[in-house]
A and B are shown apart, each in its own frame.
Chain A
Amino acid sequence: MPHPDAHSLRIDAHVHVFARASAEFPRETSDWLPPDREEPVEKLLKEMEAHRIDRAVLVQIGGTSLEHHAYLLHCLKTYPRRFLGIGLIPPDIPSAADHMDRLTDGTGVIGFRLSSLGGPRDPLDRIDIRTFRTYPIWKRAAERDCVLWLYPRAGEAHLVPFLLEAFPQVRVVFNHLFICPGKGKFSIDAKGRPRVDTPVPPMTRYATMRLNQYENVTGHLSGHYAFSKEPWPYRDLAGWHSQLLRAFGANRLMWATDFPWIAEDPGYGPLTRLLDELLPDLTDRERADIMGSTAQRFLRFPSQS
């Protein structure tokens, strides 16, 4: 019987690439995204080819305006068979729908990342999703069949079930192990990459684990470097991986590296072996699902041929 992995696409379901800040590729700058730094798509492709990764999802970084998406759109146009894209939406934009339409119009951008939902922070408040700041985004995502890439903060995790209940047709991908970072828990580590101080399993699991009942919800196995209190292979996260697998199943989980933050430590290659380290008892079928089949099906990547 052929190895399931042999015929399946291997997909890195969450990476970032960016150019130096320039007139051609304008972007916001910060201490961790200085203007001279670049992580070009060609560097990513080299890693992917070296480790037999066929496709990837490029996630916008460096600003939310249309202009800030220039490098992402350039990469999607240059390598249309290798990548799909996830954009960002300015928080105070008057017409999110217009922004979404323009970015998804034949560009390869399939959805948008949200780190805020704009609803009430008090879980005991009466919840009316029509009052959420992001309600127009969810509505447009439903109309345009866009994917929403969720990385909500801990104070908003309880709002997600209400949105999923209202929008069962919107495909949702929870980022980075379904962890919803707490306020004041972000920092930049000595290697210049995001660091999140969080208990694992996270307390937000009470809001996220039972989202497994919604078939339109999947999630990433990624971001380990930011949450683990141990070096590679991040064994302190193994138990949480097992819980996610039990709750969601391999056909609802996607492997991702969060390149470029892992390029030096632990390196792209080791992360392609992550499942061997943290979920060693997977069947071949489950391994193939997490390494690419789930992303191919859920995000609708074109097939190999």
Chain B
Amino acid sequence: MTRPTEAQRTQWKEEGYLVLEDAIVGDELCRLQAAFDRCAAEAKSGWLERVEAGVQSAMFFDIPNPLEKDEVFVDLVDHPSWYGFLMDFSGDDLIFLAPQVRTVPPSPVSYVGWHPDVPHTTPLHMKVQIYLNDVGPGEGGFAYVPGSHRKGTGPFPAVRRIDSMPGHKVFTGRAGTAILFNSYGMHTAVDNRTPVPRKSIILIYEKWSRERYNSQRFTAIAPLCATRARRKLFGLEV
């Protein structure tokens, strides 16, 4: 298990994020991209029907129940490129909450404004966003306000244009780049003014708590959780 360096620990503590370039590469990345595209193609018609019916958004497309569709998505949850980091930041007491295997269509406006995911009253909440295609400037990349995760920062202005947020940073990167961030912090996705949809996977974790423990959440993949560590991570046992 790869643990963060002291410099990485300091950056996480001070700025609330870490970028891991080439976190997934080579055959593993190709396999992940292929599984993403195959599952997205299978789910697309259902998504379009739900968009027409007004019960799902057209502005992002999440593959439903991805962990049940391909083991490659399950293996991301405790992937060696970032699992050790998350364990370190959570005091080796981690629970996985949900995946979002997401395609974001091009649009001159982002689907979401600046926001934190949870208040500080929630146990440490962390996300890993993995780019599945190259994301350059103006291509719908993830954006974060460094340091905004710290208690007592803010209030932050309710800007109408995403690029008006003071102090923000937009994360470009090659396919296979992973961005770890503390979701107390202000974040969003920037506008994507290219014709290319942005594909990424967002994994949601928290420091383990009784409130978040739910032994039924991932029962469908229980056969893939042979180790004690994995069963705890997926909430299959305490």
* B111 engages A124 (CB within 8 Å): no
Residues of B within 8 A of A121 (CB): 48, 51-52
Q: With an 8 A cutoff between CB atoms, is B96 at the interface? A: no
Residues of A within 8 A of B108 (CB): 161-162, 164-165
Q: How many positions in chain A have a CB within 8 Å of any CB in the partner chain? A: 34
Q: With an 8 A cutoff between CB atoms, is A154 at the interface? A: yes
* B58 engages A158 (CB within 8 Å): yes
Please provide the chain A residues from 167 to 214 with a CB less than 8 Å away from any CB of chain B in the complex: 180-185, 198-199, 202-204, 206-207, 209-213
Instruction: Pick the residue among B53, B60, B158 that contacts A185 (CB under 8 A).
Output: B53
* A127 engages B106 (CB within 8 Å): yes
Given A123-B58, A124-B105, A155 contacting B113 (CB threshold 8 A): no
Residues of B within 8 A of A155 (CB): 48, 51-52, 58
Please provide the chain A residues from 104 to 138 with a CB less than 8 Å away from any CB of chain B in the complex: 121-124, 126-127
**What DSSP secondary structure best describes chain B's contact surface?**
loop
* A212 engages B160 (CB within 8 Å): yes
Given A162-B108, A165-B108, A184 contacting B58 (CB threshold 8 A): no
Pair count A-B, CB < 8 A: 89
Q: How many positions in chain B have a CB within 8 Å of any CB in the partner chain? A: 28
Instruction: Pick the residue among A123, A184, A211 that contacts B53 (CB under 8 A).
Output: A184
* A210 engages B113 (CB within 8 Å): yes
Q: In the complex, A164→B160 CA distance in Å?
A: 15
Given A122-B48, A180-B54, A210-B109, A158 contacting B161 (CB threshold 8 A): no
Instruction: Pick the residue among A181, A202, A213 that contacts B161 (CB under 8 A).
Output: A213
* B111 engages A207 (CB within 8 Å): yes
- 25 A-B pairs with C-beta separation under 8 A: A121-B52, A123-B58, A123-B59, A123-B61, A123-B107, A124-B44, A153-B54, A154-B51, A154-B54, A155-B52, A158-B58, A158-B105, A165-B108, A181-B54, A182-B53, A183-B52, A198-B54, A202-B54, A203-B56, A204-B54, A206-B59, A207-B59, A207-B107, A210-B111, A213-B109
Shortest 7 CB-CB contacts between residues of A and residues of B: A182-B54, A154-B54, A158-B58, A123-B105, A206-B59, A155-B52, A182-B53
Which A positions have Cβ atoms within 8 angstroms of B?
Answer: 121-124, 126-127, 153-155, 157-158, 161-162, 164-165, 180-185, 198-199, 202-204, 206-207, 209-213, 246
